[in-house]
Amino acid sequence: MGWCLVHGLLAVIPLPWSPAALQLASSRGLLIGWSLGAWYWCIKGLARNRHKSDDFYFQLSVFRVIFFGFFAFGSIIAHGQLVGLVAPYLHAGDQPRQYLPLGSELFRFLPINQLSVHIAMVAFGLSAWAAMLGLQTRVAILVFALAGCYLFGIPNFFGKINHNHHLFWLPLLLAFSPLDRYFSVEQFLPARFAGKYWVKQELTSRLTIEVVILALSIIYFFPGFWKMWENGLAWALSDNIRNHLYTKWLTLAGWRPFFPIDAYPFWYQLGGLLVLFFELSFLVFAVHSPATRRLALWGGVLFHFSTLLFLHIFFVGLVLVYTLFIPWQLLWPQGRRVGVEAGWPTPRPYRTVLVFCLVVHAGYFSAGLANHHGWPFSCYPTFQAYLPGYTQQFWK
């Protein structure tokens, strides 16, 4: 009622701006203030958490088994899908390749043929199994990252941006992180796994999780930022959400969701507001406290399964990352805490991860701020367009 009254007054009172322009300007002001506060709170939370001494080795080890285990079994069960991802480009030649900004030119000399793809697929599958089992973990993860960069990058080289960049950067980060203390073949090599070695690596294990959380925050933040910047709250509080649904359904050959949400404006507008809130506030909830991190976990799972149910879009690689949010060490007797002893020098892996963190986050942040869609860095799908009403007539 109050919103209708304000809207009516704006319609009759002469102003130098139209109600739509005033709404957009106020939304942008709100967005700028929220963004500055959220990033300040995020950085402050990361700085506060770095002094905690929780044992994250067990958490990282479980994540290693789940993440690489998914691709290890997938390389066998879903081999045909991986082949189908790259098959359309095997005989395309070099002419149609799209050399996109932010580094795509670095890949212009890579061969794309049946032999090279077959070798990459074999390396991808074998390295996934080795990483899952903890056998030469660092080497296996590096091979997995490079093979994945080649295989998942092929469609991107031809201009088909699939937004699966995290399947390349995340393994590279994990290769320099302590993932193999539990559930690994290397666990039984006592010469390497002396007690003080793991105490010294505590900083690296904590930093790894913080870097992953910060990368997720950047991935989610900029799609929400561009939605608000381009349209304001009108992106959600209108028929725009319904029109996006119609546009996506038209590409799915008759697919429909089980619940006709397009018939209920209240629900799809509420969903639009929740999407904006989730994308713009994930970075705050993910770093503030264990309780808010659990909220971020459930919010992310709900977000991704909602896009699956209503848009048939599912970023399985990002959903797998949420297993890193679960405190597995509390569910296993051996997942106990290991304190950080004062006076230990900063280990080399810590510096490696820190430098890698700066490079990856600078790339993701620059791509998000520029709303750039390319390879190897990209802003993830924004759905920022404000679709006109004739989409409904076209759908009907």
* CA 44 to chain CA mean position, Å: 22
Instruction: Read off φ and ψ for residue 389, nearest 5 degrees.
Output: -70, -20
Checking if the pLDDT of 228 tops 60, the result is: yes
Higher pLDDT pick, 92 / 54: 92
Checking if the pLDDT of 305 tops 90, the result is: yes
- Report the range of poorest mean pLDDT among 11-20, 170-179, 367-376: 11-20
Alpha-helix residue ranges (DSSP H) falling in the chain: 2-12, 19-49, 57-77, 79-86, 114-133, 137-157, 166-174, 195-200, 202-231, 240-249, 265-288, 290-311, 316-321, 348-369, 390-395
Residue 108: its pLDDT value, please? Answer: 64
Checking if the pLDDT of 25 tops 90, the result is: no
- Model confidence at 91, pLDDT cuts 50, 70, 90, reads confident
Checking if the pLDDT of 34 tops 50, the result is: yes
Average pLDDT, rounded, for the chain: 78
Residue 345: its pLDDT value, please? Answer: 45
- Model confidence at 102, pLDDT cuts 50, 70, 90, reads very low
Checking if the pLDDT of 162 tops 50, the result is: yes
Higher pLDDT pick, 17 / 66: 66
Residue 3: its pLDDT value, please? Answer: 45
Residue 189: its pLDDT value, please? Answer: 65
Residue 201: its pLDDT value, please? Answer: 55
Checking if the pLDDT of 246 tops 80, the result is: yes
Provide DSSP, 193-221: --HHHHHHTHHHHHHHHHHHHHHHHHHHH
**pLDDT tens digits, 360-379:** 888 888 888 888 887 778 88
**Cα separation of 160 and 169, whole Å?**
19
- Model confidence at 270, pLDDT cuts 50, 70, 90, reads very high
Helix, strand or coil, per DSSP, at residue 36: helix
Please report, for the chain, the start and end positions of each structural domain, with discontinuous segments joined by +: 31-395
Q: Is 220 left (phi over 0), alpha (psi -120 to 50) or beta?
A: alpha
Residue 281: its pLDDT value, please? Answer: 92
Q: What residues contact residue 112 under an 8 Å CB cut-off, 6+ apart?
A: 86, 89, 90, 92, 154, 157
Checking if the pLDDT of 306 tops 60, the result is: yes
Helix axes 57-77, 202-231, angle to 10 degrees: 70
- Model confidence at 390, pLDDT cuts 50, 70, 90, reads low
Residue 338: its pLDDT value, please? Answer: 44
Residue 169: its pLDDT value, please? Answer: 83
